[in-house]
Amino acid sequence: MYKVNPQRIQLGISACLMGQEVRFDGGHKRSTYVLHELKDMFDYLPICPEMAIGLGAPRKSVRLVRDQDTILLQSADGQLDITTPMNHYCDSKVAELSELGGYLFCAKSPTCGMERVTEYKIGTNNGTKTGVGVFARALMDAYPLMPVEETSRLNDSHIRDNFFTRVYAYHDWRCMLAKGLTKHELLQFHSRYKYLLMAHNQSIYRELGPLLATMENDVEAVAKQYFSGFMQALKCHATRKNQTSTLQHIQGYFKKQLNTSQKAELSDAIMQYRQGLVPLLVPITLINHYVREFSTEYIANQVYLHPHPQVLKLRYGL
């Protein structure tokens, strides 16, 4: 049984991003976005694996070193090797983190970097940006569906929207599981996420409905398979083309309620979005207006219209 606080989402975070002076040089990598814009929305669990294994700050820096199939964490001169204590720490710490609703990593770190970390061939100074931080790798292997991101990438409005869309969907799913999984709840969940899935990945969306139709007695097995496909779909970037076709599907729901000029106004807003003349928020706001006016419950319940709290202002740049 999951223990999820439905009111608050806890995110794990590299401690240096919180302003803690834990980096090898005694400094930090404070993220003002995390500390100011997001602070009222999430609880944070700061973790510095390098400090946790007993290294102080300042300390000798380490880097990823590849020795055939083995990844080592060593200083450039090879005199400091923290591979074994770090692997032990990762094994035990990661097992404690199942309740997290997501993780924000510090980029480029040989411990916490999520991707494109410089990795050196043993005995050389030849580095390639193909590595993954040791702790980040352990966490992502243990919880492959957990939303994770590097804070430096959150400057991109599409990546930011995608990450928090996944965080809130992941939380929603776990709240549903915490109440007790039933066939009915699972079908309701899918119904609410229909248009969001369509916007993110149409082919996975088309597979997930029929998958639920195979649900007989083994609801848990189907739910597991469903959620894996669900998170895979949400990880895909919602393209302007897919967003447009999703908006047009929603528009179809109003065909009996809207008069001719309202239909034209909504069509124009969708096409202007398609052409990049207005942000996504323009057709979405118009649709939300019609939802309120015509009380269409099915559309009102669509997560697509409100995938994350408005106060985060995540859709402004889309």
Which of 65, 112, 233, 284 lies at the binding interface for ligand SF4 (CB under 6 A)? 112
Minimum distance from CB of 64 to ligand SF4 (Å)?
Answer: 12
Asked if residue 148 lies in contact with residue 114, where contact means CB atoms within 8 angstroms, the answer is yes
The rounded distance, in Å, linking the Cα atoms of 18 and 30 is 5
Of 14-22, 60-68, 146-154, 254-262, which segment contacts ligand SF4 by CB under 6 A? 14-22
Asked if residue 8 lies in contact with residue 15, where contact means CB atoms within 8 angstroms, the answer is no
Task: Give the Cβ contact number of residue 141 at 10 Å.
Answer: 11
Nearer to ligand SF4, 16 or 132 (CB): 16
Residue 222 identity: V
Of 34-42, 44-52, 142-150, 248-256, which segment contacts ligand SF4 by CB under 6 A? 44-52
Q: Which of 111, 116, 121 is nearest to 67 (CA)?
A: 121
Minimum distance from CB of 264 to ligand SF4 (Å)?
Answer: 53
Which of 74, 109, 162, 165 lies at the binding interface for ligand SF4 (CB under 6 A)? 109
> Residue 117 interacts with ligand SF4 (CB under 6 A)?
no
> Residue 101 interacts with ligand SF4 (CB under 6 A)?
no
Q: Are strands 117-121 and 42-47 parallel, antiparallel or unpaired?
A: unpaired
Asked if residue 14 lies in contact with residue 49, where contact means CB atoms within 8 angstroms, the answer is no
The rounded distance, in Å, linking the Cα atoms of 98 and 146 is 9
Nearer to ligand SF4, 16 or 181 (CB): 16
Which of 34, 38, 71, 106 lies at the binding interface for ligand SF4 (CB under 6 A)? 106
Provide the total of helices (H) and of strands (E) in the chain, helices listed first.
12, 8
Phi first, then psi: give them for residue 174, nearest 5 degrees.
-70, -30
- Structural tokens at position 150: 């590097």
Nearer to ligand SF4, 25 or 156 (CB): 25
Residue found under tokens 């939300």: 288
Which of 9, 11, 12, 14 lies at the binding interface for ligand SF4 (CB under 6 A)? 14
> Residue 150 interacts with ligand SF4 (CB under 6 A)?
no
> Residue 18 interacts with ligand SF4 (CB under 6 A)?
no
> Residue 74 interacts with ligand SF4 (CB under 6 A)?
no
Nearer to ligand SF4, 58 or 309 (CB): 58
Alpha helix segments (H runs only) across 116-239: 134-142, 157-179, 183-200, 202-213, 219-235
> Residue 90 interacts with ligand SF4 (CB under 6 A)?
no
Of 48-56, 153-161, 238-246, 286-294, which segment contacts ligand SF4 by CB under 6 A? 48-56
- Structural tokens at position 57: 């700050």
User: Given the rule CB under 6 A, which residues bind ligand SF4?
Assistant: 14-16, 22-23, 48-50, 106, 109, 111-112
